[in-house]
Amino acid sequence: MKIDKIEFVCSSPSLKFCPKEDLPEFAFIGRSNVGKSSLINMLAGQKGLAKVSNTPGKTRLLNHFKVGSSIAREPGSGNRTGGTASWFLVDLPGYGFAKLSKTQREKFEGLIHTYLQNRENLALTFLLIDSRLEPQKIDLEFMNWLGDNEVGFVILFTKTDKLSKTQQSTNLAAYQKALSAHWDELPAIILTSSETKSGREEVLATIGEALLQIEKAG
């Protein structure tokens, strides 16, 4: 799949203010300072699309970007030239919020949970994890929450350019072991780097496959 056009639509303080258009949505979420804005910009091919800040936790609204993309149809579909597909990329607030008050944390957690549980056109969530860290309790708890609430997600390991191949393998194995304690079937994992653009094609292909499945389902 190839992104042809992407534009910012709106920032919403709650679910009821989100766009009404009936388009599939692909949400991106992770802890503060995980590199979410940089990864979104890398996927979009636009450096300034999502605002990158040195201060963690700047994203505090539901940010919708409308994407127009070219998508290859499956063999035998009758469409040899492929086609186009429109969808929303949604930049969600991070979780954790170490520097916020308890009331503020609860507010943002409520915003995130309400969106993920109730947004009917949410097709898939991408959960960003810093590949440099050993399994973090807060990340594992959030993954288990996603599973308990039947929110489909893919794990994106970020900043892999900061690690050697051996370190990548070691950290990946540690996460897989930690997840195995609660999951019979592990979520899909994609290794990414905003610096080298590794993982970009895999993420876009995952979105493209989901769009084709949605199209098939009618």
Residue 33 lies in a domain: yes
Q: Are 128 and 39 in contact, with CB atoms under 8 Å apart?
A: yes
Burial of 64 by CB count in 10 Å (0-12 exposed, 13-18 middle, 19+ buried)?
A: buried
Q: Which domain holds residue 189?
A: 2-213
The pLDDT of residue 78:
47
Query: For position 19, what pLDDT does the model report?
Result: 95
Report yes or no on 93 lying in a domain.
Answer: yes
Per the domain annotation, does 25 fall within a domain? Answer: yes
pLDDT of residue 59: 67
Instruction: Count structural domains, the chain.
Output: 1
Does residue 9 sit within a domain? yes
Per the domain annotation, does 218 fall within a domain?
A: no
Listed as ranges, residues in the chain with pLDDT below 70 are: 52-59, 73-82, 97-100
Domain containing residue 165: CATH number:
3.40.50.300
Q: What is the pLDDT of residue 75?
A: 56
In a domain, 170, yes or no: yes
Assess if residue 8 is contained within a domain. yes
H runs (alpha helix) in 150-198: 165-180
Rounded-to-integer distance, Cα 213 and Cα 218, Å: 9
| pTM greater than 0.85 (yes/no) | yes
Answer whether 30's CB lies under 8 Å from 128's CB.
yes
pLDDT at 100: 66
Residue 92: inside a domain, yes or no? yes
pLDDT (0 to 100) of residue 101: 72
Q: What pLDDT shows up at residue 207?
A: 97
